[in-house]
Structures are given as structure tokens and as C-alpha cells.
Amino acid sequence: MMPDSNRPEFAERDPDMPDDALGLGLELPPVAQPTAPAAPMPSAPAAAPANTGGAAYRVLARKYRPQTFAELIGQDAMVQTLGNAIKRDRLAHAFLMTGVRGVGKTSTARLIAKALNCIGTDGQGGPTIDPCGTCEPCVAIAEGRHIDVIEMDAASHTGVDDVREIIEAVRYSAVSARYKIYIIDEVHMLSKNAFNALLKTLEEPPGHVKFLFATTEVNKVPITVLSRCQRFDLKRISTAKLADHFADIAAKEHVEAEVEALTLVAQAAEGSVRDGLSILDQAIAHADMEGDGRVTAAQVRDMLGLSDRGAIRRLFGLILAGDAQGMLAEARSQYNLGVEPLAMFAGLLSEVHRLTLAKVGAPRDGALDADAAALVEEHADRLSFPVLHRLWQLLLKGQEEVARASVPLDAADMALLRVIHAATLPDPGELAKMIGQGSFAAPPASAATGPSAPQSATVQTLMPSDFHALLDRLAREGFVGLEMTLRDVVRLVEYAPPVLAYQLAGPVAPGFVAELRDALAKVTGTRWDVEERAGEAAPSLLEQEQAKIDAEKRIILESPLVKAAFAAFPEAELLDSDAHDMKWSKSA
């Protein structure tokens, strides 16, 4: 009967079968394994370079898999904990490694297996955080052929029968190692029944057995299993550490690489060492095609498609300009070049995210060249936070619609047109206030949709219609002291957003102009040209209010009734609180 190929077997096997095919826990003496590949056929080259086909090329992710804890980057806290546990002989019976792809979960499990079973170069050593790497257990574990270290992929062995075989096998002691170790990768893929069958053994395994679990989705592992394991959350590796690591590997590979190129590779890896090494492998091959073998930032940008972000920025600029026709043409052009509408919206969302981070002062994105970074800074200065948040919400909604649409390009066109016409509208509460106060002035229809609309058209729709509306906006945004200064001592020469020219009717605080520019940029989303200018100027609002009060008093004092009252009572005076009553008496 043929054995079931879907799970480990404990039946008799072909003696020529390698040890790692013996299954989980088969208690047979280890079959001698070749420690080197068979000699090549006489016709094969004796020592062909790797790139000539004489030997199989090993990708960087496999070639530089960490063989010691010192080579495991970015997981210092875990290494220290394991080291202390080994020194104090406080080893848990089950470990769970979790984290995103490529941060070293399976590599850590293998290193723990080596650390627990290492016997040292003299054959007398015990468990150590620094396994020698040369003793028979270390070598066999590194080559994946140790009979007492069993690796199982839970993605292909999900059933309860596979777990039953583990339960049966753990009763037998290790054949040649100190501990029998089970490494179960992607453990979250086990079925519910498989987890339940494992619980009792996992809680009270024999002293010679250790379980090492690895998973990318720890939330799918039952809490009953988590509570029986010592858990290590492996962190994403920082961009700086990845870039340094890739620089070391490039040097070992005798490849010259620009620092910026390695930084781009590290950023694209998103914290995953394996992903980064795969990208670096591709970058080296791409550089070789160029002829000089040097990995440059420009080549990496081109390889990763980062140069296409320039097209996304052009599309974003057309949206900001309100150029509907230009935007539709650019979107169609990108579609014809193979850019899917969903990818287009993902790029636009990424651009809004980048602008928002730039506006709050986050460090510059290293993936941007100087021109792109300058454009990001310009857009971040012009766009306010409300506009950026509105753009984000509209683009996110558009992305959802495109994902569900039967004709994605049509849905993308409609969603982008909605962004142009709705992104800069105030929220309902602000709109109601502006209408109630008479401070909302809608731009002409052509101002936001015409092909020749200026870059700041979308911002202009949010500009206060007059100086009074500007002061109200400043007060609502918390700049009360500045609003009072403008109301009391500023005589307006010109108000043409984003231009404000004035004269002063009294003293102001030092740094008044800089403070005013910053406040106007925050509340309107664009930089203003603020200057003190000679020429004809209107009275300040305080002066206008005082002049109005004085005029009302003169009218009241000129009335016959008030004159008669003053004639009868020469020492009487007109109070402000009585002025309205007297006006009323006159009108009555």
C-alpha cells in the first residue's frame, strides 16, 4: 500500500529515503547522509562559477539565512530572554514565534533547536545561546537532516491525524540529541480538532520534548494554545538596520551599491529581511544588465516602479488644479500603459498620506528625489488639514467603488471627478455657519473646472470672502488674540486672498507678521503674502465701530426731544446703554 503523501508516516520506508522523509518521531537509527553533493559527471566543468550554470545559484535569502543568534538582526530582546533562560536552566517546553513575513520566525526556531542540542566542539557542551555550529547536531540541524528535529508545515498537515502522530511519537525519547524538537510552521493553519488534540500534550509534554511554533497570524491561534506557550513577538526590522545589513551583504557579494539604493531596497522590504534580500537579488541582476554591475538609486527606482510615482503626482496635481479634462486624459494614459485603476487610487492615497505626514513635520521620505520632495513640501504648505482629510476620505471611497465596479475605469473616472468637485467643500457644520454669517463666497463655475485653472483653485474655494469672514475663521480656529489685534489696530489696504496689505493704527507684538502668516496658512491651507504698505487704507474695524457709535450719538443728540431734555437738565449726560432707548423713543 502506498503511504499517504499528505502527512508524515510511521510505516516502513525505502532505506534509500533521506532522514527528513522519515516523518514525525520515527524511532530508527539515522541513516548516514552524504555531507557533500555527489561528484560531477566527467563531462561537467570541475569548478564552474555559480553564474555559469556549473552549480545551482543560491538566492541571497537562503545563502545568508542566520546561523547564529548574533546574525539574527533586530530581535535583541528575544535573544537576551532566551540566553538568560538557558543560563538559568529555565527553558519553557513550548515557544511561539509570531511576526510578519521574513523577520526570522523559522530561523529562530532552528537556532533554538541548535542552542538546545549543541554539544560543543569537544562533545561535552550543554545548551548554549552561542551554538558552535560545528558539532554533529549543529551541522545536521542546519542541513535539515537531524532525526530528532522534526519540521512540519501546518499548511499542508492540518488534520487531527497528523497531530495524533506527534502525540504518539513524543512518548519515545530522542535518538541521538538532548531534546526531541518539533518545529511547526504556520501553526495557525491547524484545524480546530487538531488544536484540541494537541492541548494536553502541549501542556504536559515529556521532559525531552520541546515544541517550537511559528505563525504570521497569531490571532488565529486559540487562546488555549497561546496560554501554554512562551510567546515572542518578532519585530519588523527598521529601515536603517536593513540598509546596513544589505550593505554588508553587498560587500560580501563584491557588489558596489549606492547608499540611497540600499535605503530604497530597505524601504520596499517593509521590515522583512527576506523580502529585502529578494529585492536586493533582483537589483543586483538589474545592475548587471546595465553593464557596470553597480546598483544605483535610479536603477532601483525604475525596477520597483517608483518612477511611476511621478505620473501619480502629475495626476494629483491635475486634481488639485481642478483640471477635469486633463485629469481624465492622464488617467486614461496611465490605464493604457498598464496601470490598473485600483493601483492608481492606491498611489493617490499614498500621496495624500505622504503630504499629511510632511505637513506635521515627519522626516522626509527617502524614496523621493529632490524634485519630488520639493513638490511634496509645496503641496503640504498649500493644503490644509481639513482638505487633506477630505481628499483621503473621497479617494478611499472611490477605491472601494472601483474594487466593486464591473468597469473599473469608468468608476475611477466618476470617483476622480467627484474628488475634483467635492474635495474642497467645507463640512456641513462649517458650511451652515458660513452661510448664516454671509461669509461664504462660491467661486465661479469655471474657476475649479476649467483647463487653465491655477494650481491654487481648490484652495481658493475655501478662502474667506472678506476681511470680516477671515477674522471669524481665525477666531473659530483658536487664534483669538490675533483676531483681536487685526480687529483693533489693522487698517486694511488690500484684501485679495492670498494677499493682505495693511497699515497699523497702534502697536503690535514682536513677530506679528510671522505669526499672522503662519495662522493664515493653517486656517486656509495656503501661504499668504502679508505686508505693511503705504497708500489709502480703510479704518480699522474698531475705528469703524467707534465711528458708527459716534454717528448714532450725534443723531440722537440732534433730536429735538434730547435737546429739550438737556436744556431742562444741563448736568445730564447720554449713556451708551440709553442710546438705544432714546433712538427707540425717537422712532416711537
Element (H, E) at 83: helix 76-87
Average pLDDT, the chain: 79
Give the residues across from 530 on adjacent strands: 500
Q: In whole angstroms, give the CA distance from residue 564 to residue 554.
A: 15
Q: Are 300 and 265 in contact (CB under 8 A)?
A: yes
3-state secondary structure 473-532: HHHHCCCHHHHHHHHHHEEEEEEECCEEEEEECCCCCCCHHHHHHHHHHHHHCCCCEEEE
Asked if 102 contacts 273 with a C-beta cutoff of 8 angstroms, the reply is yes
Q: At residue 441, does pLDDT exceed 60?
A: no
Answer for the pair 442, 410: CB distance below 8 angstroms, yes or no. no
Q: All 3 cell numbers of residue 201?
A: 500534550
Convert the pLDDT of each residue in 494-534 to its tens digit: 998 888 999 998 888 888 888 888 888 888 878 888 888 88
Q: Round to whole Å and give the CA distance between 391 and 425.
A: 10
**pLDDT tens for residues 20-75?**
433 444 344 444 444 444 434 334 333 344 444 556 788 998 899 998 888 888 88
380-398 confidence digits (pLDDT tens): 877 888 888 888 999 999 9
CATH code linked to domain 310-438+445-452: 1.20.272.10
Domain at 19-29+56-233, CATH from 3.20.20.140, 3.40.50.300, 1.10.1040.10, 1.10.357.10: 3.40.50.300
Residue 469's nearest CA partner among 481, 483, 457, 458 is 483
- What was the pLDDT predicted at 286? 81
The answer on pLDDT for 586 being more than 50 is no
Tell me the HSE value of 5 on the side-chain side, using a 13 A CA sphere. 1
Give, in order, the Cα–Cα distances in Å from 468 to each of 131, 477, 484.
76, 14, 12
149-153: strand order across its sheet: 149-153, 180-185, 209-215, 94-98, 230-233
Is the domain spanning 463-532 CATH 3.30.300? The answer is yes
Strand partners, 495: 500
| C-alpha to C-alpha distance for 95 and 183, rounded to whole angstroms | 10
Tell which wins on pLDDT, 376 or 93.
93
Single-letter residue type at 184 = I
Dihedral of alpha carbons 237, 238, 241, 243, sign: positive
Going 61 to 64 to 66 to 72, the CA torsion angle's sign is: negative
pLDDT tens profile 229-271: 999 999 888 888 999 999 999 999 988 998 888 988 988 888 8
Query: pTM for this one?
Result: 0.57
| CA 512 – CA 554 distance, rounded (Å) | 36
* Structure-model confidence comparison of residues 464 and 460, the more confident one: 464
Q: Do the Cβ atoms of 374 and 519 come closer than 8 Å?
A: no
Domains 19-29+56-233 and 310-438+445-452 alike in fold = no
pLDDT (mean) for 104-121: 92
Strand-pairing partners, residue 531, are 501
What residues does each domain of the chain span?
Answer: 19-29+56-233, 239-304, 310-438+445-452, 463-532, 541-587
Tell me the pLDDT tens digit for each residue of 138-161: 999 988 899 999 999 998 888 999
Task: With H, G, I as helix, E, B as strand and everything else as coil, classify residue 221.
Answer: coil
Please, what CATH class does the domain formed by 239-304 belong to? Answer: mainly alpha
**What's residue 459's pLDDT?**
39
Cβ contact 308:95 at 8 Å: no
